[in-house]
A = this chain, B = another copy of it.
Amino acid sequence: MYRDPVESLEPLHHRQAAIRTLRVGMIGIGTVGSGTFRVLARNRADIAARAGRSIELVMVAARNLERAAGIVGDSVALTADAMQVATHPDVDVVVEVAGGTGPARDWVLAAIAHGKHVVTANKALLAVHGAGIFAAAREKGVIVAYEGAVAVSIPIIKALREGLAANRIEWVAGIINGTTNFILSKMRDEGLDFAAALAQAQALGYAEADPSFDIEGIDAAHKLTLLAANAFGMPLRFADAQVEGITALQGMDVACAEQLGYRIKLLGVARRQAAGVELRVQPVLVPATHLMAQVNGSMNAVMVKSDAAGLTMYYGAGAGSEQTASAVIADLVDVARLDGVHAAQHVPHLGVHAHATNALAVLPRAAVHTSHYLRVPVHAVNQIQAVAASLAEQKVPVRQVALAAERPGMGPQVLVLTGPVEQGTLDLAVHALQARAEVAGAVTTLRVESLEG
């Protein structure tokens, strides 16, 4: 029963009668899918009271049908063919929680082509293929909702797209990968090196067997891409993001940051400059007293600086079965409330209406403008002045210089905090510094974010 959009043109009393159960087809019944099933069932009455109609799971596609039946029982139709869910006439909205980007893209596009709304938590899919998917959805007048794609428990897409709609947003900075935040918290709390902290995260189920998407910053970059598009009304520019993970981070720098009054967090930062947008994921120093520095373990938080609202922050779990289900179902409630409404009045997929998209460019690495932390191994403690002088000569504003607290097996280390400077200038200065006789080893640099209003 593919409902033509023309249905919404029927007289009011017909439409009112037509407000009926929203029928959900789900592709994938893993962690997120089973959580969604569970929460939909447990909170059925409350959800209907909010949505104004029932939301019912009618069909599930799964690779392992026996396992799926063990989860959903016999009230839900099961199929091994995801495309059947994507195109079935009894499905009003398709929830894609299978993950991956190849087949998932085909399913989502098929669902859209069949006039179905789509809810997905698939950040990789949207960050990479979102432009085509959203264009197809606009064409067909359907909604593609994806609150679960970023910082799952936190309604941050909604906050950017609706709650802060009055604002010109200046920057968004987020701890948006729970695995790396867990590892960084372990490194700090227990003085572990990266490898040991990763092993703990894997043992506790906070990191996958192949953790590369998390620890290389790619997962955070997918999410940042979606945040930036919603914040600035710009296209999805995942390919242009500068992405640095935490694999090269040394326990020594976590300790030295602490000594200077900072903590190291893997931040996704999207910041507007006059000439374009900084779009970058990297480990940075954050003042230890800052709220963002208090976000520990696998928790997520996103801070937004905007011209009218000022600084706002959003905090919650960044992963988990029911935590993601919370977002997926919130999207279903939105769909239930807007299904049948003229598509021009849907909240636009990326916050602004497509014709008004702001074709902002992503700035090159050299143009990124932040303060920096440097750790410079030297031969003798009295070479601290030489380090500072070398940087100042190269036009790097030096704000603080200190010797690192002694550590067994390490020679003297000069720690430097700079003022704001373009990355290009800093890179040249570090290159010059590295060549000096006083410098006894590789210079480490990390960005510093004040995250202030």
A-side interface residues toward B, CB under 8 Å? 5-6, 8-9, 11-12, 15-16, 19, 35, 39-40, 42-43, 45-52, 147, 153-155, 158-159, 161-168, 233, 289, 291, 294-295, 306-317, 320, 322-323, 325-330, 332-334, 337-338, 340-342, 344-348, 351-353, 356, 358
Contacts and interface: CB of A to CB of B under 8 A. Distances in A.
19 contacts: A40-B166, A42-B307, A45-B356, A46-B168, A48-B356, A49-B352, A50-B161, A50-B351, A52-B345, A155-B158, A158-B159, A159-B163, A162-B333, A165-B330, A166-B330, A308-B323, A308-B326, A310-B320, A341-B341
Q: Which of A12, A309, A325, A328 has the most CB of B within 10 A?
A: A309
A295 B290 CA distance: 10
B314 A352 contact: no
A295 B311 CA distance: 12
A345 B352 contact: no
Given A11-B9, A294-B294, A345 B337 contact: yes
A428 B96 CA distance: 56
B294 A308 contact: no
A306 B291 contact: no
Number of this chain's copies in the complex? 2
Contact of A166 (B5, B158, B329, B346): B329
Given A310-B317, A314-B312, A325-B166, A341 B330 contact: no
Given A50-B351, A52-B348, A162-B155, A322 B342 contact: no
Given A9-B12, A52-B345, 19 more contacts: A39-B308, A43-B308, A46-B352, A49-B358, A51-B165, A52-B348, A158-B158, A158-B159, A162-B330, A163-B330, A164-B326, A166-B327, A291-B295, A308-B325, A310-B322, A312-B314, A313-B313, A313-B316, A338-B345
